[in-house]
Amino acid sequence: MFLRQTRAIQAVTQRQARLIFALDATASREPTWAQARALHSELFSAAAETTSLAVQLCYYRGMAQLHSSHWLTEPGALLDQMSGVTCEAGITQIGRVLQHALDAGSASQPIRALVFVGDACEETPETLLSLAGQCGIKKLPLFLFQEGNDVTTRAVFARMAQVSGGATVPFDASSADLLRQLLGAVARFARGGLKALQDSGATGDQLLLAQLEKGP
């Protein structure tokens, strides 16, 4: 019985659209982490509202730590994973996140979108843009939520989103409701593509659609 149930769960997960939710958990985010974690949970809940989407939590911290969960479909399991993440001093590892996403997908089970929340970029822009371009070739758009106002990070995130076919969004607790709507829109995009956004009248869907239709 247990084996049959496990196989049934695996079969359902394999049919679901897949989205990676990635976080920068380095020390630079620690001063606002309590506030940000509540907002992360809001965003994560939006992605988990439907069982037609499988989400993987991925985060980096320290000098070489990159963690990724199993593919999860239950909101409770997703939020449990999120609540256990703590900050640790280190460097950004956005390139490793992108490479992980590229490696995790396959022709039969592609990753439909990658959502990333971070406040800094300490890596070579050319390397990140090359990886983002590979994501674009694989039709894996990057949706980059930037916390803070670092100008260099904003510019790199904007180019990464552009070459991958994704979008950038400021990550600010003052706009939590809009952010939640936008991530819900990303989740719908992951399941149904541009048509799902075009058929929706929701504010977040229309805002995301406007960014995506700008193109390169």
What is the average per-residue pLDDT within 101-124?
92
179 band by pLDDT with thresholds 50, 70 and 90: confident
Angle, alpha carbons 52-41-64 (nearest 5°): 95
Q: 14 or 72, which is more confident?
A: 72
pLDDT band for 12, please (50, 70, 90 cuts).
very low
At 151, the pLDDT band (50, 70, 90 cuts) reads very high
Write the DSSP assignment of 29-60 as a string of letters. Answer: GGGGHHHHHHHHHHHHHHHTSSTTEEEEEEEE
- The full set of domains in the chain, from first to last, is 16-208 (3.40.50.410)
Calpha distance 110→112 (Å, rounded):
6
Q: How do residues 154-171 score in pLDDT, each as one tens digit?
A: 999 999 999 999 999 887
Q: What is the mean pLDDT of the chain?
A: 84
Alpha carbons 116 and 103: distance in angstroms, whole number? 17
Give the mean model confidence (pLDDT) for residues 194-215.
Answer: 85
Please compute the mean of the pLDDT values over residues 42-60 and round it to a whole number.
74
- Is 51's pLDDT higher than 80? no
Q: What phi and psi, each to the nearest 5 degrees, are found at residue 55?
A: -120, 140
